[in-house]
Amino acid sequence: MTSDAVPPPADGLAHHPLVGRPGKVIALHLNYPSRIAQRGRAPSRPSYFLKTVTSLATSGQTVERPPGTELLAFEGEIALIIGTTARQVSREDGWSHVAAVTAANDLGVYDLRSADKGSNLRSKGGDGYTPLGPASIPAEQVDPASLRVRTWVNGELAQDDSSATVVFPFGELVADLSQLITLEPGDVVLTGTPAGSSVVGPGDVVEVEVDVPGTEHSTGRLRTSVVEGSGPLPEFSAQPSVDDVQRAEAWGSRDAAGLEPPFELTEDRIAKLRQVAVATLSAQLRKHGYNQLSIDGVRTDKPGSKIIGRARTLRFVPAREDLFRSHGGGYNAQKRTFDSLKPGDVLVVEARGERGSGTVGDILALRAQVLGAAGIVTDGGVRDHSAVKDLDIPTFSGGPHPAVLGRRHVPWDSDITVACGGATVQPGDVIVGDDDGVLVVPPALLDQVLDAAIEQEAEEEWIAARVAEGAAVDGLYPLTGEWRRRYDAERDQEGTR
């Protein structure tokens, strides 16, 4: 070891993992496949955040849950204690700069996430939010892929995983960080948490242990008790803010958080949507007070066809030469979005109603079809219109135009809230289109309007039959009086058959 190394303990096992005051505490966002599966996003490279040195605590201490918050979550982790200075080291040499490993609890308050827009400063940096210990394991005595991390809450096992599963090996993390940041003796690197992290509250006790199964190497159990904070945050501080997304992430799943399962466009819902016309849905949405859900100015290239699916979104900004040079070429946002479509998606494109260039052509439309997308809706133009029309996938647009994208647009971003044809569209909205046009249906409204729309169509079918028989529309359309009683009686009779 060099002269700036952390000296090893005399007995080979430190009674406390830290020597001196660390200069940095660095934490990794995602590493264990079990946690990555929960989050639903797989990192291609490690990403990190800083925790404050004052967040460090020892075993047996308490941690406060700030008053007015509900989502204090534990994360049992393996912590690396840097032993020698690391600056631009190789992956092969990274582990050699680690003096010891210990147990860590990367505590955080999800209620305060929004305050710092992703930096995690307040949500993860509070006093006592990084307990370590109680002992450490010398790094030179263990294989970094042989470690196990376990967490107990009130005596019940909540997390159990192995460092053999991690996406980013520990030596690689040291090497990666050292490319731009000098790691110094005593610095702490938290290496990610496995599945099982969840919410704890006052009165709960969390214990974390790191060991090598089948050997004497163990940190012992790091014990932290949760208590309620003594006073609310003053009004000049950012206040707690939570939503169901934060609750699901903090608890580990929507089910664990006691939330309703996420909306799905099931086969039953799709079958019902196929029964009703867009005009009927529009009428029912109007009855619920929604008059701004029509994507205006677009027409289908396949009369008689219908689109039903969940919205994916793509936004173009007005053409500007420098921005098109930086964002328009290569594998741009437009191409990335088309490549990411999944079965049942309807791609909704914000083109600001500008029809003076194409926003999709035959190659990209074919790509959407091959991936199983349900349709394309754009309030701009379509190039290669005849070829796009001949595909199986229906496209609603402002009409044909021969010019390429760059004449009027720069592909900018995707999967955000967009405006298309005068309607606001969010990713996940239900999109329904037929010869009358295209509607955006907020998922929470769908079941409310769908059954009513089916009933409305049944009524109108019955009314049309009476009109065909020669009946006048007065009192018949809409159904009132005797006509209403007659219709209800026939429906009741059919229901008893």
Question: Would you state the pLDDT for residue 17?
Answer: 67
Phi first, then psi, for residue 400 (nearest 5°) are: -75, 150
For 327, residues 6+ apart whose C-beta sits below 8 A from its C-beta are 333, 410, 411, 412
Q: Which of 237, 231, 239 is CA-nearest to residue 112? A: 239
What's the N-to-C CA distance of the chain in angstroms? 89
Question: Would you state the pLDDT for residue 13?
Answer: 37
Annotated binding site for substrate: 361-364, 383
pTM: 0.69
H/E stretch holding 270: helix 267-275
CATH class name, domain 291-441: alpha beta
Residue 69 corresponds to which tokens in the numbers above?
A: 């918050």
Question: Would you state the pLDDT for residue 375?
Answer: 97
For 399, residues 6+ apart whose C-beta sits below 8 A from its C-beta are 299, 355, 381, 382, 385
Phi first, then psi, for residue 406 (nearest 5°) are: -65, -10
Question: Would you state the pLDDT for residue 352?
Answer: 96
Question: Would you state the pLDDT for residue 117?
Answer: 79
Q: Write out pLDDT tens, residues 180-236.
A: 999 999 999 999 999 999 999 999 999 999 999 999 999 999 999 999 998 888 999
Helices in 316-421 by DSSP H: which ranges? 321-327, 333-339, 362-370, 385-390
Phi first, then psi, for residue 405 (nearest 5°) are: -55, -45
Question: Would you state the pLDDT for residue 491?
Answer: 83
Considering the domain delimited by 25-251, tell me its CATH architecture: Alpha-Beta Complex (3.90)
Helices in 312-425 by DSSP H: which ranges? 321-327, 333-339, 362-370, 385-390
Question: What is the spatial distance between Cα 53 and Cα 39, in angstroms, rounded to a whole number?
Answer: 27
Q: How far is CA 270 from CA 264, 276, 282, 449, in A?
A: 10, 10, 17, 13
For 161, residues 6+ apart whose C-beta sits below 8 A from its C-beta are 32, 34, 148, 149, 194, 195, 196
Question: Would you state the pLDDT for residue 6?
Answer: 40
Residue 131 corresponds to which tokens in the numbers above?
A: 């307990």
| Helix-strand-coil split of the chain, %, nearest 5 | 30, 25, 45
Low-confidence ranges of the chain (pLDDT < 50): 1-15
C-alpha torsion sign, points 416, 417, 418, 420: positive
Q: Write out pLDDT tens, residues 440-489.
A: 999 999 998 999 999 888 888 999 999 999 999 998 888 888 899 998 88
Question: What is the spatial distance between Cα 415 and Cα 329, in angstroms, rounded to a whole number?
Answer: 20
Q: Domain residues of the chain, as ranges?
A: 25-251, 291-441, 446-496
For 315, residues 6+ apart whose C-beta sits below 8 A from its C-beta are 333, 349, 350, 412, 413, 414, 416, 418
Length of the chain: 497
Question: What is the spatial distance between Cα 210 and Cα 76, in angstroms, rounded to a whole number?
Answer: 9
Question: What is the spatial distance between Cα 495 and Cα 313, in angstroms, rounded to a whole number?
Answer: 43
Q: Which of 240, 204, 1 is CA-nearest to residue 105? A: 204
179-205 burial, b at 16+ Cβ within 10 Å, e below that, comes to: eeeebbbbbbbbbbbbbbbbbbeeebe
What's the CA angle centered on 422, arms 419 and 428, to 5 degrees?
A: 45
Give the DSSP per-residue string, 121-150: HHHHHSTTSEEEEEEEEEGGGS-TTS-EEE
Bridge partners, residue 438, by sequence: 295, 433
For 355, residues 6+ apart whose C-beta sits below 8 A from its C-beta are 380, 381, 398, 399, 401
Question: What is the spatial distance between Cα 293 and Cα 243, in angstroms, rounded to a whole number?
Answer: 25
Annotated binding site: 361-364, 383-384
* Amino acid identity, position 314: L
Question: Would you state the pLDDT for residue 2?
Answer: 36
SS3 283: helix
Question: Would you state the pLDDT for residue 21?
Answer: 82
Residue 37 corresponds to which tokens in the numbers above?
A: 């599966």
H/E stretch holding 440: strand 437-441
Annotated binding site for Mg(2+): 384
SS3 88: coil
